[in-house]
Amino acid sequence: MYEIVYKKRLNDAVTLMKIDAPLIARKAKAGQFIILRIDEQGERMPLTIADYDREAGTVTIIFQIVGQTTQLLSAMKEGDSLLDFVGPLGKATEFEDAKRVCVIGGGVGSAIAYPSAKQLFSDNVKVDVIAGFRNKDIVILEDEFRAVSDNLYITTDDGSYGEKGFVTTKLKELIDGGNNYDLVVAIGPVPMMKAIADTTRPYSIKTIVSLNPIMIDGTGMCGGCRVTVGGEIKFACVDGPDFDGHLVNFDELMRRNSAYKEREAHDRSHCRLYKSAE
Amino acid sequence: MPNMSLKRVPMPHQEPEVRNKNFSEVALGFTPEMAIEEASRCLNCKTRPCVSGCPVNVNIPDFLMHLSKGEFEEAYQVITRTNGLPAICGRVCPQETQCEGKCVRGIKGDSVSIGRLERFCADYHMKNVSTLPEKPESNGKKVAVIGAGPSGLTCATDLAKLGYEVTIFEAFHAAGGVLIYGIPEFRLPKEIVRKEIENLTALGVEIKTNMVIGKILSIDELFDMGYKACFVGSGAGLPSFMGIEGEDLVGVFSANEYLTRTNLMKAYQQGYDTPIMKSKAVAVVGGGNVAMDAARCAIRLGAEKVYVIYRRGLAEMPARKEEVEHAMEEGIEFKCLNNPVRLIPDENGRVKAVECVEMELTEPDESGRRRPVEKKDSNFLIDADTVVIAIGTSPNPLIRSTTPGLDTNRRGCLVVDEATMKTSREGVYAGGDAVTGAATVILAMGAGKQAAKSIDEFLSDKE
């Protein structure tokens, strides 16, 4: 059993939890993920590691309510325990020798972009962060990002906070303004990552994206997470989850991620849990 | 006086039209009367060919003699001297090519139903005897076993019986490996796996789940933690795909994913959260036991049509004959000498049909093998909204990529000395599918047994 030692609601839909998992905390690196299961009847759900504390032995996860498992998870309290928590899975992000990096987070994906910014900043790399949200109410991790970046740009779609507009617009503006990024790390919804990759392609700036396909085991066994990268089949769980954004077939990923959409919609309209939450 | 009937006692089964709608066990097991009658068919011959046909050398004639006299528990004790998982082996071993394949009664008539009798003994014991084995006195030496599948469980059992302090590290949230994620409930009830594992923990074996060795801890770190030897039984979990157009479509699964969702995550049961496709027509590609398992799960999950597509003929199918027959009885349609060349999408990117080509077998080559070749312009379509690829698996790279000095061959299998199961790293032994590539439960158990013996010799010599 893995205890929830700390819980904080970051906004209405997004929750942060610190989980007691000392062996994972000891090994975790930016870009890696865990798989959790709430109880015996629960599904195995992958979540990218948002932070870790090697001393305290905790792993931080940040998640948005999107389906049944995240709904149940968000209802758990400090002191409750998860039945299963396995990791650190996947490969750590390879920043190579980047000197000037732009880290971009979209919505709750910012939570996953944070450890990249943190690691780069502590390695004395010059880091700019663009964090984009739909509106002011769902802005998360602003102080945390400020502490690990040289420049922080917050954008909102409706202009209710920070700059109005999309992260792609801001990125293009920064590149055209003379920022010679040698690496862009983009984590967020698949359409956003696709748009970022399209933005950086003409400038030939290496772009790392973190993919979130459907998976079960996280160790290369089910093949559910297969994605096409540069024309080859890759398993996101063991070959990724980070890939070169210029080589990923994003359309295929979006299609595969929608496999259970009908069932999820059905659950949502029939499950009392959802109704009580609304 | 032995029972000289040429025919074996038939096994009671659930009727095909009933069982293809439920996940309960298909074969119902012998009654005590049936078991005594069938066991009495053993001649207790001097040559005992059956014993040499068993990868773990169960003393078959001895247990059959006890059984024929109604001494069920005594028979069970004979089996468990060499086999720690009899309820499992009695159900899933390919006895027809092993013990039963060598039985002299099989020369004229049916061989003795050794597997079904092994199952009877194990089930009798589980039902009537509640004593668990006792924990032997510890010799203070720690051994790590990676993977709680058939080879790891067997290696751990044998080492624990010798007094070693064994810890099994399992990547999944439950122990059993392929016994729980792969082989379906209707062929091997999970309660039986759980009980066999209970015997193991009674012997003092500790099972740590959620431990992906190579990630959370490396083999080198295990040695640093005081483990004196290590057995790698990490299996062959990496699924192969065909490499044809359309394998990325929604509705296309590896057999591993389809079976894991169904068996381990219990997607077929109300109340479990893991989803599975609700399919109308399922096409399973492959001809092994895994393909049979996937097809038989699909029909139980409510598919109206289930096809098995195999590129060779029925006679060449690697699956056990019994499984093929069961699948046919349950209404699964076999498309032999057919090979998929393309998966065709609907407008939403979901698979809607499999384009196949007809195959024919060449004349036997020098090795006697007949190769399947395409018949020109024979393409046709099979409508299917779910496709399951069951064409094989290879060993998972996690261990080999994180353990320096561990030799592998070009198929990614760990290289071992076949007599001792020793790898290229001192103190590291390996067995099961991680070494052989995908094979059977019992071969993996045999390897685990051999490795336990070698580890014991290695650690005894070290003193």
Residue-wise pLDDT tens for chain B (463 aa)? 788 899 999 999 999 999 999 999 999 999 999 999 999 999 999 999 999 999 899 999 999 999 999 999 999 999 999 998 899 999 989 999 999 999 999 999 999 999 999 999 999 999 998 888 889 999 999 999 999 999 999 999 999 999 999 999 999 999 999 999 999 999 999 999 998 899 999 999 999 999 999 999 999 999 999 999 999 999 998 999 999 999 999 999 999 999 999 998 988 888 888 888 889 999 999 999 999 999 999 999 999 999 999 999 999 999 999 999 999 999 999 999 999 999 999 998 999 999 999 999 988 888 888 889 999 999 999 999 999 999 999 998 888 888 888 999 988 899 999 999 999 999 999 999 999 988 889 899 999 999 999 999 999 987 6
Query: Cβ neighbours of residue A55 under 8 Å, at least 6 residues apart?
Result: none
- Tokens matching residue A49: 């590691």
Contacts of A263 in chain B (CB under 8 A): 275, 278
Q: Quick one: pLDDT band at residue A275, thresholds 50, 70, 90?
A: very low
- What pLDDT, on a 0 to 100 scale, did the predictor assign at position A270? 57
What are the Cα distances from residue A263, in Å, to B101, B400, B442?
48, 39, 39
Nearest-neighbour CA in chain A from B396: distance (Å): 7
Q: Would you state the pLDDT for residue B324?
A: 96
Q: Helix (H, G, I), strand (E, B), or coil: what is residue B232? A: strand
The whole-model pTM stands at: 0.92
> Do B193 and B88 contact (CB within 8 A), yes or no?
yes
Q: Check residues B1 and A145 and name the one with the higher pLDDT.
A: A145
How many residues are given for chain B? 463
The length of chain A is 278
How far is residue B234's CA from residue B147's CA, in Å, rounded to a whole number? 5
CB pairs under 8 A between A and B: 104
Min distance B174 CA to chain A CA atoms (Å): 10
Quote the tokens at residue B448: 């685990």
How far apart are the CA of A172 and the nearest CA of chain B, in angstroms? Answer: 32
Q: What was the pLDDT predicted at B397? A: 85
Interface mutation vs chain A, best among B146, B180, B210, most A CBs within 10 Å: B210
Q: Tell the residue number behind the tokens 């012998």, with chain if given.
A: B30
Average of per-residue pLDDT across A231-257: 92
The per-residue pLDDT for A278 is 37
- Give yes or no for residue A271 having a pLDDT over 70: no
Place of tokens 């407008």: B347
Q: How confident is the model at residue A260 (pLDDT cuts 50, 70, 90)?
A: confident
To probe the interface with A, which of B207, B209, B245, B248 has the most A CB atoms within 10 Å? B248
Residue of B nearest to A45 (CA): B274
- pLDDT at position A112 is 87
Interface contact B237-A43, CB threshold 8 A: no
**Chain A touched by B211 (CB under 8 Å):** yes
- Interface probe for B, chosen from A20, A86, A237 (most Cβ of B below 10 Å), is A86
A85:B210 CB<8 A: yes
Q: Which of A41, A221, A255 sits opposite B271 (nearest CB)?
A: A41
Q: Which residues of A touch B256 (CB under 8 A)?
A: 221-223
CA distances from A275 to A68, A73, A266, A272 (A): 12, 16, 12, 5
Q: Which of B216, B253, B396 sits opposite A221 (nearest CB)?
A: B396
B263 touches chain A (CB under 8 A): no
Residues of chain A neighbouring B253 (CB-CB closer than 8 A):
223-224
The pLDDT, as a whole number, for residue A45 is 94
Handedness of CA A31, A34, A35, A36 (dihedral sign): negative
- Bridge partners of B393, per DSSP, are B239
CB contact under 8 A, B237 and A219: yes
What confidence score (pLDDT) does residue A268 get?
60
pLDDT at A89 over 90: yes
Q: What is the pLDDT of residue A257?
A: 86
Query: What's the pLDDT band for A277 if we cut at 50, 70, 90?
Result: very low
- A214 pLDDT more than 80: yes
Q: Which of B22, B21, B34, B17 is nearest to B72 (CA)?
A: B34
Cα distance between residue B106 and residue B91, in whole Å: 20
pLDDT value of residue B463:
65
Identify the pLDDT of residue A243.
96
Query: B 215-234 residues with CB below 8 A of A?
Result: 215-217
